[in-house]
């Protein structure tokens, strides 16, 4: 388990909502803090790395546990 400062539950939501909500939540956080994002949308596997690259945030880890995806994103700015 990776320590996080906050958790964003996007279970039951599909593209683009998990990324939109991640973007909104990460803006409320301080640089260096880690956000855990929970999703059951398989698109998150492709979308989260792209979003992190495009926004300058760091995708620390992305895990898949059955239909549950956990993304850990560090705010860099």
Q: Kindly list the catalytic residues.
A: 15
Distance CA 43, CA 48 (A): 8
The C-alpha atoms of residue 54 and residue 1 are separated, in whole angstroms, by 26
Element (H, E) at 61: strand 58-65
């Amino acid at each position: 388990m990776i320590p996080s400062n906050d958790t964003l539950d996007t279970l039951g939501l599909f593209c683009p909502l998990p990324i939109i909500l991640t973007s909104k939540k990460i803006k409320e956080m301080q640089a260096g803090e880690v956000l855990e994002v929970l999703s059951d949308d398989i698109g998150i596997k492709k979308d989260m790395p792209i979003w992190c690259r495009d926004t300058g945030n760091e995708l620390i880890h992305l895990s898949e546990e059955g239909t549950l995806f956990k993304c850990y994103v560090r705010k860099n700015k």
